[in-house]
Amino acid sequence: MTGVARSPREDLGLMALAVVCASSAPPLIAATAAPALAIAFWRTGLGALAVLPFALGGRRAELRRASGRAMAPALFGGAMLAAHFSAFVPSLRLTSVASAAALVCSQAVWAGVFGRLLGERLPRRAWAGTAVALAGVVTVTGVDVSLSARALGGDVLARLGGFFGGAYIVTGGLARRRLSTTAYIAVCYSTSAVLLLVICVVAGRRLGGYAAADWVRILAITVLAQLLGHSLFNHVLRSTSPTLVSLATLFTVPLAAVFAATMLGQTPPAAALPALALLLAGTALVITAGEPAAARA
């Protein structure tokens, strides 16, 4: 992973693979009996351990030469990733997979806001699509409010996870201007793992003693969602707008819902289906406006 410029078509293929892999995380997390914060730690910690040998081997010189301007966004991105997981993973214990996946994808809106503050320009159709997608997020929240206070609490955590997720994606775009994919994710994942370890220790979360099936699920989350999903999203940030990368994550909503229905027998309420339709419609609007925006960005 060298961060060399690629064509938008290749980026779309990589993002599609990342979406499929990332979509497996919510149902796997919901099915794992380990503490939510511990799952967040292990997925980043194991991901960092897998990447560090390549970073310290092939990218050691790059890391040594990296300036503070290059390392600061990578470290901050790791902190935002830790905050993102600290909110999103626990939300899956309080509300449905479909609702949590939909609400955390409000990160697309925050990525657009943060990107705009940093000078990124998107066409009106992209902003219209973002507004439609946000309407879907609001609709999901309304459905869960009618279900239970517990579900509402999960919605709040998922939306908070979306805020930090937007900051993580945009910060990654800044870091990738100066660092290769391998160097960036090594620093980012390691920083996230250290912070999550501290959170787990302070909160008294158990970091071991799980059933074998839970360790298998944690390993699957690490390989599919972290090493493939997140790493591929970070890889395309060198040549694709962070806002568009974040919007691509909206496709994880229907896929995560399908995986949850298949793996857990968990289906979203009928009232939530219009919200998922709004999310997809908003994404379609952004995608059709995305290529010129990516070129300008």
pLDDT in tens, 196-252: 999 999 999 999 999 999 999 999 999 999 999 999 999 999 888 887 888 788 778
Q: Which domain holds residue 256?
A: 8-296
State the pLDDT at residue 197. 97
Q: What is the DSSP letter of 34?
A: S
Residues 190-199, mean pLDDT to the nearest whole number: 97
DSSP symbols for 191-258: HHHHHHHHHHHHHT---S---HHHHHHHHHIIIIIIIIIIHHHHHHTTTS-HHHHHHHGGGHHHHHHH
Tokens of 200: 């787990």
Q: What pLDDT, on a 0 to 100 scale, did the predictor assign at position 141?
A: 57
Q: What six digits make up the tokens of 24?
A: 């497996």
Structural domain tally of the chain?
A: 1
Residue range 10-38, pLDDT digits in tens: 888 899 999 999 999 999 998 999 999 99
Q: What is the pLDDT of residue 205?
A: 95
State how far the Cα of 200 lies from the Cα of 203, in Å rounded to an integer: 5
Task: Round the CA-based radius of gyration of the chain to a whole number and report it.
Answer: 18
Instruction: Give the amino acid at 90.
Output: P
Q: Is residue 1 part of a domain?
A: no
Average pLDDT, the chain: 84
Q: Residue 166: helix, strand or coil by DSSP?
A: helix
184 pLDDT higher than 80: yes
More confident residue, 223 or 154: 223
pLDDT tens per residue across span 41-82? 999 999 999 999 999 988 888 988 888 888 999 999 999 999
**3 within some domain:** no
**pTM for the full predicted model:** 0.84
Which residue, among 159, 5, 178, 2, has the nearest Cα to 75 in the 3D structure? Answer: 178
Angstrom distance (rounded) from CA 232 to CA 184? 12
Task: Judge whether 255 lies within some domain.
Answer: yes
Task: Yes or no: say if 268 and 99 are a contact pair by the CB < 8 Å rule.
Answer: yes
